[in-house]
Structure 1
Amino acid sequence: MRIGLAGAGRIGARHAAALCELPEVEALVVADADAARARALAARLGGAPAERRAPGGPSSPEGAGSRRPAQTPTGSLGRAPGGADVRAVGEVGELFSAGLDGLVVAAATDAHADLVERALAAGLPVFCEKPLASDLDGTFQIVASAKKAGIPVQVGFQRRFDAGNAAAREALASGRLGWLHTVRSCSFDPAPPPAEYVPTSGGLFRDCVIHDLDLIRFVTGRDVVRVMASGANRGEDFFRDSGDVDTGSALLVLDDGTLAQVSATRYNAAGYDARLELFGSKDSIVAGLDERTPVTALPEHDEEHRDPYAGFLERFSAAYDAELRAFVDVVAGRRANPCPPEDALEAFYLAEACELSMREGRIVGAEEVRR
């Protein structure tokens, strides 16, 4: 199959390398708002930038097997070490006439909604990094468009594909924990993002905590009925200046009475830390605790520790690979969509509820933000 990639930045480059390792991916077509960056990525992967493209219509919506172009784009393709042919095109819009079988969206957040809508109009299955859109209205619209088109849109909540989180879900479903009474999830970044990123990030709860919110729903299989959230600023002023917080916490009440606590911060110099803890009437388990987890047990021992995780790309490296493996299976029709847009909308609702609770200093019911 031929896969398109919109976005050649940090996460796009990581996805490109992973896609090239998948045996089904015969060709990868890369585009970015910065054409030079797309060409550089293609060159690093062993590809060649496209000089011209033969004319061809958009992909057929009749199924993955019918999405081959009438003509192959002209010019030689470079071959990546994993076996895929890699090509860069001049503009992102050219992806939709490149005879693709599927599209991976890893562009800037404000471009996500338009790219997903265009992929749906072209009949292309699409994988989109979260968020689907920069606001609730845009997310709601994409859910409606995907449902109408009947085309799969897989959202990039990679923590669902982490081996530990998947095992926690299975353990809970098996009855090993008994009845669940407490869930704790954390997302601790070792250092804050660049100051210029913060004003367009959506805020800590929409940008960061949304992963925890989705994971709690996914692992427990329960909905959240109300939240109480708070935030603080103890670090750089640019968070406060942008109306954001650098540290936040939320208490969630699930529909069966289980309590869940989420904590996040931009300042955890010990290293990147993302853990999920489940406490039940029979047993307690934790996902994300290993020799590289940046916590120190007291009293301290002289045991040698490995370097802590530097960031989310390293901590969830295998999960990123697994979610793209899943997307290729979705494109091929071998499995159902493991992370549909409806789930992304639910997580966005909860992030909105957390933001509202923090701003107004009160408990917010999930129904208050739902449409």
Structure 2
Amino acid sequence: MTSHKAVTLGLAGTGRIGTSHAETLKNFPNVANVVVADADPGRARAAADKLGLEFAPDLDALFAADIDGLVITTATDSHPELITRAVDAGLPVFCEKPVAADIEGTLAVLDHVQNSTVPVQIGFQRRFDAGYRAARAAIASGSLGWLHTLRATTLDPTPPPADYIPRSGGIFRDCGVHDFDIIRWLTGREIVSVYATGTNQGDPVFTESGDVDTAAALLRLDNDTLATVSLTRYNGAGYDVRLEALGSLSNAIVGLDDRSPLTSVEPDYIPSTFPPYPGFMERFRRAYTEELAAFVSVVTGTLKNPCSPTDALEAFYVAEACELSRREDRPVDVAEVRR
């Protein structure tokens, strides 16, 4: 599509993030309508009524509607079928990560869409955050000198629902994958080896699911820059997502502001009066808006796809290598998990 007319978008999945995306999309001047559907028709109807949107009783009805693109915010196991179905119908796709639940499923989707010109944008919203974009520009400008260390954190204040843990894919695939993607995107480099570990001190469901509630990974990039990634489900002080890019001349810090849940014990420290972000939706609200605006531009043919399934696969490979490293307590080359 190359026209600049207002578009109609379909949205599959009206949970928390799907409903939020629908509300954002409906307020764009170049979006004429949003048609919503869900595996639970009642939930989709409730979202449609609340937001004043069109309701589709099932996915067949959604695809039969006169839509110009599809936004996928459904459960992970439905992503491959919805992506391939939309591409076969000629509909540009935005899909929340991951492409699929595992590498094999991701490769199957890539194999299906590789010869198509229909764009598939994967939702790594940090690429649209102003802080991460400023850090990327600083790195590219050379103003930091050569990078020697990157430090990334994704620290959730509380765990997700217990029934989510067994199907999450584990902390590296579910949570750390955002850090792996943003490290690749910021630096333009590939992650070539990892050493990862994890522990459990919280809910037994993590141990029972073969997962961990706290993890750390040491990554080596292809130019010998080192990166550390820290993850936890139990950061009671608040949602803490930061990145430090440390160079030979200077540094760039993302996520260090008045809402960072950090408390200095130095005697002259003046604490912030602003509350920390309670979660990812609030921390990245502007980034989600920018990401969806980009997708509308992809649909209208005015922007090249900013995050392809291939990008998602590369981050997934790193997550897979970290999980293997954690389980076997050894360094792992990312090449070892490539298919």
TM range (shorter): over 0.9
- Deviation per CA, 1:3-28, whole angstroms, max 9, x where unpaired? 00000000101100110111111010
- Deviation per CA, 1:122-171, whole angstroms, max 9, x where unpaired? 01100000011111111111122222122110000001111000000000
Deviates more, 1:266-275 or 1:133-142: 133-142
1:364 aligns with 2:326: no
State the match for 2:61 in structure 1.
Answer: 94
1:122 aligns with 2:65: no
1:38 aligns with 2:6: no
Contact 2:258–2:272, Cα closer than 8 Å, also in 1: no
Corresponding letter in the other structure for 1:207: D
1:25 aligns with 2:31: yes
Distance 1:276 1:305 in 2: 23
Deviates more, 1:297-306 or 1:18-27: 297-306
Provide structure 2 residue ranges, at least 5 long, that are not aligned to the other structure: 1-6
* Structure 1 runs (4+) greater than 2 angstroms displaced: 300-304
1:154 aligns with 2:160: no
State the match for 1:54 in structure 2.
Answer: none
Paired residues in the alignment total 332
Q: What are the equivalent positions in structure 2 for 1:172-321 lying under 5 Å apart?
A: 172-300=139-267, 301-321=269-289
Corresponding letter in the other structure for 1:105: I
1:10 aligns with 2:25: no
- Rg larger for: 1
Q: Which has the higher contact order (CA 8 A, sep 6+)?
A: 2
- Deviation per CA, 1:274-330, whole angstroms, max 9, x where unpaired? 001000000011001100000012215454421110000000000000100000000
Distance 2:92 2:150 in 1: 34
Q: TM-score, normalised by structure 1?
A: 0.88
- Deviation per CA, 1:310-360, whole angstroms, max 9, x where unpaired? 000000000000100000000011110000110000011110000000011
CA, structure 1 residues 154+298, in 2 after alignment: closer, same or farther (shift >3 Å)?
A: same
Corresponding letter in the other structure for 2:279: G
1:139 aligns with 2:106: yes
Percent pairwise identity: 57
- Deviation per CA, 1:239-268, whole angstroms, max 9, x where unpaired? 000000000110000000000000000000
Distance 1:144 1:220 in 2: 27
Contact 2:263–2:271, Cα closer than 8 Å, also in 1: no
CA, structure 1 residues 248+303, in 2 after alignment: closer, same or farther (shift >3 Å)?
A: closer
Q: Secondary structure at the match of 1:215?
A: helix
- Deviation per CA, 1:83-133, whole angstroms, max 9, x where unpaired? xxx201100222111121100000111111111111011011000000111
Q: Secondary structure at the match of 1:104?
A: strand
Corresponding letter in the other structure for 2:39: A
1:112 aligns with one of 58, 61, 79: 79
Corresponding letter in the other structure for 1:354: C
Distance 2:112 2:242 in 1: 34
Contact 2:260–2:277, Cα closer than 8 Å, also in 1: yes
Distance 1:23 1:152 in 2: 22
Distance 1:304 1:207 in 2: 31
Distance 1:126 1:303 in 2: 44
Q: Secondary structure at the match of 1:26?
A: strand
Distance 1:304 1:183 in 2: 26
C-alpha RMSD of matched pairs (Å): 0.9
Corresponding letter in the other structure for 2:10: G
Distance 2:101 2:259 in 1: 33
Q: TM-score, normalised by structure 2?
A: 0.97
